[in-house]
Amino acid sequence: MSIPRFDLYLFDYDGTLCDTLCAIQHAVKRTFEEVGQDVTAGPILSSISAGTTLTQTLAKLSSAPLHDDELRRLAVRYRKIYHAESENLVTPYPDALKVLETLSLDHNIAVVSNKGEEALVLSLAAKGFSEFVPVTIGSKGTRPRKPDPALFDHHISPHFPGVSPEATLMVGDTETDLEFASNAGLHSCWTSYGYGNPEKCAQVGFSYQTDQLGALL
């Protein structure tokens, strides 16, 4: 099925625009090494797919129970390691830059991620995406996260007055992205090359599916 044009494209980041798995794994392992724990790759991938917060992910990956203050310290350590050591491990998917550049000529674009907004903004700039992405929405403070439709209603839609949910395509790789689209009344495109669990994504459902980002063009 061909993918029609939309007025607004919302792109997830991890597993959609960029392969960030090695970067995340590196930062997670380095973070836990400093507290004497070893973390395997499998649980890290499942946590990325589930769209959990950083502290929830760290709590899930830890081999020992951690208090809230310990989790906060680990989160700070993770972010420092990610900024210092992991960004050079992030690899844009083929056609990601071309797709953003081309669509930005006559369509609205935003990157919408559960990744921390500071890291998201820095990574977009490092990969040369920023000039084609006028709106960047990441995890920040008490802001709703995908799949909460309030994220679209109160934090995305105001940037694009006159653009309806029906004219919006959410492009993402996990069930969290697809649930967000469904909850907010958006169309969805599942990028099957990313980190999503195929069975869970099929259960949620999606409007379109692609194994290459360039199909959007």
User: How many angstroms separate the CA atoms of 110 and 167, rounded?
Assistant: 14
The span from the CA of 177 to the CA of 196, in Å, is 9
The conformation of residue 14, written as its DSSP 8-state character, comes to B
Say what the pLDDT of residue 63 is.
83
3-state secondary structure (DSSP) of residue 144: coil
**pLDDT at position 47:** 74
Q: Record the tokens describing residue 93, joined without a space.
A: 């998917």
User: Residue 43's pLDDT is what?
Assistant: 72
CA distance 26 to 32: 10
According to the model, what pLDDT value does residue 1 have?
Answer: 63
- Segment holding 33, helix H or strand E: helix 21-33
pLDDT at 39: 78
For the residues of 37-102, what is the DSSP string, one character each?
A: ----HHHHHHHHHHT--HHHHHHHH-SS---HHHHHHHHHHHHHHIIIIIGGG-EEPTTHHHHHHH
Q: Distance between CA 20 and CA 89 in Å, rounded?
A: 7
Task: Average pLDDT across each block of 10 residues of the chain; the chain has 217 residues. List them in order.
Answer: 92 97 92 84 71 84 87 92 94 97 97 94 96 96 95 98 97 97 98 95 97 95
User: And the tokens for 200?
Assistant: 């869970």
pLDDT at 176: 95
Total residue count of the chain as it appears in this document: 217
Give the β-pairing of 208-210 and 108-116.
unpaired
Q: What is the pLDDT of residue 41?
A: 62
Cβ partners under 8 Å of residue 24, min gap 6: 14, 44, 48, 82, 86
Residue type at position 191: T
Contact between 9 and 109 under an 8 Å Cβ cutoff? The reply is yes
pLDDT for 38 equals 84
For position 52, what pLDDT does the model report?
76
- Domains for the chain: give ranges and CATH numbers: 8-19+91-216 (3.40.50.1000), 21-89 (1.10.150.240)
Q: How many CA atoms lie within 13 A of 201 on its CB side?
A: 23
